[in-house]
Amino acid sequence: MGRLFGTDGVRGLANGTLSPELALQVSAAAAQVLSRGKSRAVAVVGRDPRASGEMLEAAVTAGLTSAGVDVLSVGVLPTPAVAYLTAAYDACLGVMISASHNPMPDNGIKIFAAGGHKLDDAIEDRIEELVRAGSFTRPTGAGIGRVLSQSGADGQVEDLYSLAGTHERYVEHLVEAAGQDLTGLTVVVDCAHGAASDVGPAAYQEAGARVIAINAAPNGLNINDGCGSTHLEQVQRAVLEHGADLGLAHDGDADRCLAVDANGAVVDGDAILAILALGMQKTGDLAHNTLVATVMSNLGLHIAMREAGIELRTTAVGDRYVLEELRRGGFSLGGEQSGHVIFPKYGTTGDGVLTGLELMARMADTGRTLADLASVLQTVPQVLVNVPVADKAAVAAAVDVRQAVAEAERELGDTGRILLRPSGTEQLVRVMVEATDADRAHRIADDLAKLVASV
């Protein structure tokens, strides 16, 4: 068995590699690690609408309560909502059951520590050790956790943990954070039949926008099915059909957001980051005049930020690493090309609905179209080749590969960029080359890919 935790929790085929038994063990271990020092700990548990979430929520609840932790089930909500409510309710941990943008048969378990923060590697390792050892603390009698509901675990109303209004509370948090009247803007929202199908349109409407929601009827089986942030064709067509000002597309758990302008052109995460960074720079809200992104962000973002006098810091791929850098440096904006955008002032993880609100707020504040705002970023041609290899470590250690990369970097100078990155889940090495000259980018990528494949 490989490492249990991937880049974003535990993920796999529901009722296959991600079984109810494993979900119970992971949640019991997480409760034991994260609830220490609490005499009566509480965990917030939410899920996306996929059918297997019902089964896995039951297993997670059993695991948490078996470890003596009370469970506050908040139902179907986006991942950032569970993180927010974990902090808002002062819970010792939060659990989101979702496989994000993955197909319906998959599912996953994302765990948040107190304050709604993602786990660091050391805590994940401690949880994994307990799961592998199969030894958990098992209280009995009154020590067993309870499932909290609106009426309270003991039949009395519990004001602190009342479920009444949890969805509304999250929507209010989003609208207050954006703080801009969006009256006059028309937006098409592709909810991916996912966790934002209710709260996404509700938040945009509450902020004043005219909302046309599509793919907002989850039935447990249709999540991410040809729609959402991984399939933008539907939102592109709908924007043109309705003459909307823009379109927004979320993934299954709504922690990411991609956009299309009024002409149907895609505005990806890099462009969204550029728009928001420039806006925050103007208002003085871009802390230390710095934006945080990952190594996969396009060279065009680096160029646009350099021209604006904004420092761009890069991290490994994964919004958890972006968040770590944001917290370490006290920065106020970061994200990924895939549409994860993090505002540390308002949340501890990527929040797709908040991103959509902030993007529209920028449009409303400036009176400019999304296409005009996005024109600040000129995307540099990027070539990505996934190379199957027998040994990723051997590629990293190969002297001839390092020499070839160095020679190519000298050839490109400041007109391009090269990145060789081993896949975190497959025996692949990803060869990425960016260059202002597309033909040169293809040539260099092909040459490096052949060399990597020969190792």
Is 447 annotated in some ligand binding site?
no
334 contacts: CB under 8 Å, gap ≥ 6: 273, 291, 292, 293, 322, 323, 325, 326, 341, 342, 344
Is 255 annotated in some ligand binding site?
yes
Q: Assess contact for 84 and 155: CB atoms under 8 A.
A: no
Is 251 annotated in some ligand binding site?
yes
Q: Which of 109, 84, 101, 264 is nearest to 174 (CA)?
A: 84
Alpha carbon 367 to its chain's center? 29
Q: How many residues does the chain have?
A: 455
Q: Which of 196, 221, 5, 249 is nearest to 103 (CA)?
A: 221
Q: Assess contact for 372 and 277: CB atoms under 8 A.
A: no
Is 437 annotated in some ligand binding site?
no
Task: Examine the residue annotation and report whether 19 is marked as an active-site residue of this protein.
Answer: no
Marked catalytic residue, from 52, 98, 100, 297: 100
Sheet holding 341-342, edge to edge: 311-315, 290-294, 334-335, 341-342
DSSP letters, 208-275, are: T-EEEEES----SS-TTSS-GGG-THHHHHHHHHHT-SEEEEE-TTS--EEEEETTS-EE-HHHHHHH
274 contacts: CB under 8 Å, gap ≥ 6: 301, 304, 305, 374, 376, 377
Sheet holding 210-214, edge to edge: 210-214, 186-190, 246-250, 257-261, 266-267
| Tokens standing for residue 258 | 């991609």
| Alpha-helical regions (H) of 263-420 | 269-283, 299-308, 319-329, 352-366, 370-374, 392-397, 399-412
Instruction: Tell me which residues are annotated as active site.
Output: 100
As annotated, the binding site for Mg(2+) includes 100, 251, 253, 255
As annotated, the binding site includes 100, 251, 253, 255
